[in-house]
Amino acid sequence: MLDVPRALAHESVLMGESPLLVWVEAGALALALVVLAALLSRVVRRVLFAAFVGAKAVALAAVLRLRGRSDAGPVVVRRGFEELGPTYIKLGQLVASSQGLFPERYSLEFRKCLDRVRPFPFADVEATLHADLGKDPAEIFESIDPKPLASASIAQVHVARTRDGQDVVIKVQRPKIAMMVEADLRVLKVAARIMNAMPLGELANPVAIVEDFESNIREELDFRREAENLTEFNRIMKEHGQTRVAAPQPIAGLTTPRVLVMERFFGSRVDEVDKLKAANIDGEELLLLGMRAWFQCLILHGFFHGDVHAGNLMALSDGRIGFLDFGIVGRFGRERREQVTDYLMAFSAGDFRKLAEVMHAMGSMGGDIDLDAVAKDLARAYEPLLAKEDSAMKYADVIPAIMRTAVRHGMRMPRDFVLVVKQMLYFDRYAKLLAPKLNVFRDPRIMAALATDMMEAKMRAA
């Protein structure tokens, strides 16, 4: 290999120049190249940009505090996340949908991230379709609506019709999002380690939150996995005779890591109560049907939809209930399935000692734990919520109660357990809208179905 500094030094002797001067010049050149490479690194640029946005946020928060705005923190952080782009908006959506796991004022403020994602140009949509499908989009689609049906942090969706007349939706990934996510994840991992070293930081488990976020977002970035999840859900529904529950069918040959074409569903979101009433749809019946399907997936197959917010659950115009967006799914082994089911049954029965034992078995407590004391704290937190048979459970109160108990007893909540509880929060929210007297944990129809599925799961395992 050519030794540039030595070669330059040798040449300098021939030319009468000082070898020392040449070494200094060569060192300066090497340093300049290193600095240039660092500046060109996407990771370094994202770190610098994040630091810049963070500094602006801190300065703005300080100014607002001096002006008497002590409640401005959530607004400042939310604006910073929006400025940092899609990865942080996605993280903000996690905060918004995990009420109780984060301070309530932050969860409420970050709900604004759910519908504030800017669409990207239709020209980029067409370019991605052409690159990934290998044809001009006009050869495959009779029409594509240039106005997005939805624009999210990872992708955006357009309504289209294929050349054979089928109504479909096209999900197209944001340009260069994969590279940006990789850089942002490195920044978030460092931030999580720093937070983990702070007082009570380990109990909040920021490292695990970022790891879970990383796992989810990596899976979401490959639309082939989502297509597989859609197919698996429909297979499970067919196996259990659930003819009124479905996910959109992917269109064969039109799925790539960045493009997913699937059948279009027509109907209303489950939280659009007025539309459901106008269509004479029994919201309670539909919700129970969807919950039964969700529990069957979880208990019998260890597979479940991990993000059933209202935009992903539809009352279809043909009387079915549709589950959309399978970018986030949970997968449990047999042991974890049994633990989660035991937790649900103990919760519904008000058996708080059993509840404490299950949480301990999940690995969320250390070895030296007073289970009786934990049971008493759980009873104190939950009994008022379970006392009335005709009232829906208030998960917005339950989850903070879990977290307070966790801090008091040095518990760490398992990530997969939190994912399940999050979905139950969604179902409870829909119950309050569609069937105010329905208690999603104590309703005998739900409990009977849960017990039936548990028995079948045990028979399969025997």
Q: Of 184, 307, 428, 443, which one is the catalytic site residue?
A: 307
Query: Residue 38 to residues 25, 51, 99, 182: CA-CA distances in angstroms?
Result: 20, 16, 39, 16
CA distance 460 to 132: 42
397 counts as catalytic? no
- The upper half-sphere exposure of residue 186, i.e. CA atoms within 13 Å in the direction of its Cβ, equals 13
- Residue 103 phi/psi, 5-degree rounding, is -50, 135
Which amino acid belongs to residue 308? V
What single-letter DSSP state applies at residue 264? P
Query: Which helix H or strand E contains 460, and what residues bound it?
Result: helix 444-461
3 state DSSP class of 268:
strand
- Neighbour tally for 94: CB within 10 Å: 22
Residues whose CB falls within 8 Å of the CB of residue 289, separated by 6 or more in sequence, listed in order: 242, 244, 245, 321
CA distance 97 to 106: 11
String of b and e for 292-305 (b: at least 16 CB within 10 Å)?
bbbbbbbbbbbbbb
Q: Strands (DSSP E) along 78-166, which ranges?
A: 141-144, 150-151, 155-162
Find, among 397, 362, 366, the residue nearest to 380 by Cα.
Answer: 397
Which amino acid belongs to residue 262? M
String of b and e for 307-340 (b: at least 16 CB within 10 Å)?
bbbebbbbbbeeebbbbbbbbbbbebeeebbbbb
CA distance 357 to 410: 15
Q: For the sheet containing 313-316, what is the strand order?
A: 245-246, 321-323, 313-316, 267-269
Find, among 186, 185, 192, the residue nearest to 207 by Cα.
Answer: 192
Catalytic residue list: 307
